[in-house]
Chains A and B, each alone.
Chain A
Amino acid sequence: MTSDLAIGHVLYAEDDPNDVFFMTRAFEQLGLREALHVVSTGEQALEYLKAARAASAGDGPSSMPDLVLLDVKMPLLSGREVLTWMRQHEEFDGVAVVLFTSSTQPSDLAYASEHGADGLFVKPADARTLMRVMESVLGSLKVRARGEHLAFVENRLVGHQP
């Protein structure tokens, strides 16, 4: 079930160790553990992205992630701000961004779609659902042409049961 989802790599910014555990577990189950790079703050995500940009500008192999998963609510630099920063720099146009939130508040959804995110998911409360969500996200990432954005998805579109 894993080989057809093979992608470059995924950056995941999340400050909650439990969520990191669940996400890592989901990637493991999808056979993509090696593709997942985890940072625990928005600042680290920014640092990682800047380094990736510098590397890809050189002659070496591109280390730009294919997908960035951002927790909306992190202390200091939030997922919202990382998203905004990325969409202000066209080098990241080809990078899909999906936000994860604990909240059912409509404001997060509105913010994500208005600021160029490719999807927003309310964090599922069980491991199986999370795996299905990631399967769906990575699947749509694979079929999209490089350089295009994903059609914006929110949790309901991929069959998540709230």
Chain B
Amino acid sequence: MPVHASPSRPSITTMETRSANAPPPTPSQPAVDADVYRGLLHSFDNGFCLIEVLFDEGRAVDFRFLEVNAVFEDQTGLHDATGRCIRDLAPHMEEHWFTLYGNVVRTGTPVRYENVSNELGRWFDLYVDRVGDPDAHLLAVIFRDITARKRADDNLDFLVRLSMRLAPLESERDIVDATTSALGEFLAVDRCYFVECDPGRELIIAGPNWCRPGTASVAGRYPLHDFGGLEWWRHYTSGNFAVEDVTLNAFTRSHARPYDALGIRAYLVQPFHREGDCAAALAVTESRPRAWRDDEMQLVEAVVARVWPLVERARSDLALAASRATLAAHALDLEERVKQRTALLEETAAELEAFSYSISHDLRSPLRAMRTYAGLLLDRCRGLVAREEATYLERIVEAADRMDRLIQDTLVYSSVSRTELPLERIELAPFIEGLIRAYPHLSDVAPGIHLAPRLGAVMANTTALGQCLSNLLGNAVKYVPAGVAPEVIVWMAASRDRTHLFVRDNGIGIAPMDRERIFDMFYRGDGPRCGTGMGLAIARRAAERMGGTVTLASGDGPGATFDLALGRAP
């Protein structure tokens, strides 16, 4: 290429011309040689060029580089520009440059200008002034490539706008969509999407894609193995993973097929790390090779760092809302179930109440009639019949009285199951003695019932304890072999927090097969002296209502021993 820059060229005389137009230097001020300025311009770290603007019919249409300095090539990317026209070097140079230069040539007014040349792919900040003879159409241009600064500004501006756009969004999908579309458009890529690796590290999951029209989404799940396994994933998410061309990159070329299937030739990935692990990555792809710039990598990194925490928050909000809803549903369900059960229980209780009311009325009416008639007969016949007949009538009256008591006791027992039973300290010896007196079936055999000395006291309820012990003692005296007088021994033993009252009889014992069933309601043992079958069931229930238990301590015979355990009295 011819080099035109020489001291004899008009460009030099430009400086001289200007010196000539200026006041002549005073003798005491030595004139600075033009070479000094030239040297300065050439060593300057700003770009410098001297151009001649070419006009066609009064319109600036091209310009020729007459002289460029050392950093010119760096700052513009134009090689061997000196002596050549811009239309030759960059055919699509934007029109605004010619308009600007033409104006400066015509007006002679220096201009400070900042603009982009897409043709050169750079932003410039420049100072333009006319030099030399106005008719020579010469301009001096001092400029800087401000592309990096400009991109940094634009990226920052993008991040600010993105933040504002995301601020009102709550759902993960909205956040992801807004982010990928904004970034995809801004970087002018084919696709933009988030990628995650599943917890088992077997799949990579590409989230919803933003795609340029005509580009297919690659959203979906892919076997990690297809892309090179965990080693690839670590590399993929190590940061600044930029592949200009998957067919050439050392990490991707052996797996070029899946990329090809997805229409990915170049891509850039930035990860988001949480506690050392890669939580997710943000990817942009191109179907053609693309050299990724540093500022693009930084931008993607900044975006994922800002956006992924928002996605995670949206997820946890959703999970929280879901668990709240589940909790609320459970609470509602529980409430409903409690309501149903309570209603059922109330119904059952009401039925039981009605049942016991009915028993109380209907069972007792005929009994009362029998007893009254027997009483009337006894009155009528007194003195008329033999003493033996009178005794029979008395027995009828007594039996009716007993049966009435039994009915009433049963009713009391059923109410015992339903009402609160306040516990109090009860001295056992006087209580049991009173019980034996009150119940004829016990008082009849009282000499056979032996209470150990110092029985002590228990925490119990008078009614329930009466029910319990009268049945245990009644049971004990009932099952004796024919011809044998009942012998019952009652004694006490204390454990840490319980008092055990043992009742041992000399009865027939309890067969092993019956031991589980004797406490069942209406279960009756064999034999001539069958009871109502409620005795032990009532005894156990009453004990349980007092927080105690009734168990069979020994049934092997001779006789059986029952154990009534109650709370210790203080």
Q: A-side interface residues toward B, CB under 8 Å?
A: 16, 18-19, 22, 72-73, 101-105, 107, 123, 125-128, 130
A138 to B379, CA, bound (A): 25
A126 to B376, CA, bound (A): 8
Tally inter-chain residue pairs, CB-CB below 8 A: 51
Residues on the A chain within 8 Å of B379, using CB: 127-128
Contacts A125-B368, A127-B379 aside, 8 further interface pairs with beta carbons under 8 A come to: A18-B365, A18-B369, A19-B369, A102-B360, A102-B361, A125-B367, A127-B375, A130-B372
A86 to B488, CA, bound (A): 58
Task: Say which residue of A102, A107, A126, A127 sits within 8 Å of B365 (CB atoms).
Answer: A102
**Contact call B376/A107, Cβ cutoff below 8 A:** no
Q: B-side interface residues toward A, CB under 8 Å?
A: 356-357, 360-362, 364-369, 371-373, 375-376, 379, 400-401, 404, 408, 411
Give 16 A-B contacts (CB < 8 Å), ordered by A residue.
A18-B365, A18-B369, A18-B372, A18-B373, A22-B372, A72-B361, A103-B360, A103-B364, A105-B360, A123-B368, A125-B372, A125-B404, A126-B371, A126-B372, A126-B375, A127-B376
Chain B at the A interface: mostly helix, strand, loop or mixed?
Answer: helix
A22 to B379, CA, bound (A): 14
Once A107-B357, A125-B400, A125-B404 are accepted as A-B contacts, the answer to whether A102 and B375 lie under 8 Å apart by CB is no
**Most B CB atoms within 10 A — which of A72, A101, A105, A107?**
A105
**Contact call A102/B372, Cβ cutoff below 8 A:** no
**Contact call A16/B371, Cβ cutoff below 8 A:** no
**Contact call A127/B357, Cβ cutoff below 8 A:** no
A105 to B364, CA, bound (A): 12
**Contact call B368/A73, Cβ cutoff below 8 A:** no
Task: Say which residue of A103, A123, A126 sits within 8 Å of B357 (CB atoms).
Answer: A103
Residues on the A chain within 8 Å of B360, using CB: 102-105
**Contact call B372/A73, Cβ cutoff below 8 A:** no
A131 to B364, CA, bound (A): 20
**Contact call B368/A102, Cβ cutoff below 8 A:** yes
**Contact call A103/B372, Cβ cutoff below 8 A:** no
- Smallest distance from the beta carbon of A134 to chain B beta carbons, Å? 14
Residues on the B chain within 8 Å of A126, using CB: 371-372, 375
A16 to B371, CA, bound (A): 15
Task: Say which residue of B367, B400, B408 sits within 8 Å of A104 (CB atoms).
Answer: B408
- Smallest distance from the beta carbon of A43 to chain B beta carbons, Å? 19
